[in-house]
Amino acid sequence: MSAATISAADTRIPLRSHLRHTGALIRRNLLWIRQDPESMFDAILFPVIFTLLFVYVFGGSIGQSLGGGQEAYVQYVVPGLLAMMGMNMAQGVGTGFNTDFNSGVMDRFRSLPIGRGSVLFAKIVVELMRMLVACVILMVVAVLVGFDITHWPGLFAAVGLATVFGSALMWVFLTLGVVMKSAQSVQAMGFLVLMPLQFGSSIFAPTASMPGWLQNFTEYNPLSSLADAARGLMVGGPVAHGLWVTLAWSVGLTAVMAPVAIHKFRTKN
């Protein structure tokens, strides 16, 4: 069947059927997680390991520069780690999608009379559920190490903002999952992209002490905007600039990458 025929068949499927197909695929993915609980290890262990690592290794030294020691650093880094959740979960959806292709699961899906976009939307919804689990675990660990939740509405708003940005990034990694040849190559590409964005941002440390060229990079880094907005929402401080920049990045990435991912999925041999 040609790509044009597939695309035409996909557009003839009504919206209600698309939603029903997406719901069925979400249920299928959740059942797979129940059968393979090890697939949740990253969502469970990542927030625990990173919170303890950064708080107890860097908390004292960076906290002093913030004027309050480890307690001050906890209030600083936890919103940044929350902003980091979406990016790390996005990488997981790309590797998982590629694995499904190489195992033949996606060939079976594409042979069925279902909306092609439903397969991708279901993957994103389930990955966002995993991200919310990771956020809950992060906040539990954060409270145990001394994080003070003073703005509950701000906390929920920060989680929502991280979810929006994470869902936009997932379209990028779904595209990589389709075009790359192996899950290892998707993971390697993700590492090359994520590491500079994560550490060249305001997630783990203030940017004022960084070299000028790196400060210029962090200024345009969407993770810095997301971390700053989450920090303002959760512990107080400026919010508007980081919020709008993050939303602009999210809308832009989704508008550009969602059609690309769906097209690559429809036409992949």
Whole-number pLDDT of residue 60:
82
Whole-number pLDDT of residue 269:
64
The model's pTM is 0.86
pLDDT in tens, 94-143: 887 888 777 777 767 767 767 767 888 888 999 899 999 999 999 999 99
DSSP-assigned states of every residue in the chain: --HHHHHHHHHTS-HHHHHHHHHHHHHHHHHHHHH-GGGGHHHHHHHHHHHHHHHHHHHHHHHHHTTSTHHHHHHHHHHHHHHHHHHHHHHHHHHHHHHHHHTTHHHHHHHSSS-HHHHHHHHHHHHHHHHHHHHHHHHHHHHHTT-----HHHHHHHHHHHHHHHHHHHHHHHHHHHHSSSHHHHHHHHHHHHHHHHHSSSSSS-STTS-HHHHHHHHH-HHHHHHHHHHHHHH-S--HHHHHHHHHHHHHHHHHHHHHHHHHHHH--
Give 10 or 195, the one with higher predicted confidence.
195
pLDDT confidence of 6, banded at 50, 70, 90? Answer: very low
pLDDT in tens, 52-66: 999 998 888 888 878
Q: What's the whole-number average pLDDT of the chain?
A: 85
pLDDT confidence of 11, banded at 50, 70, 90? Answer: low
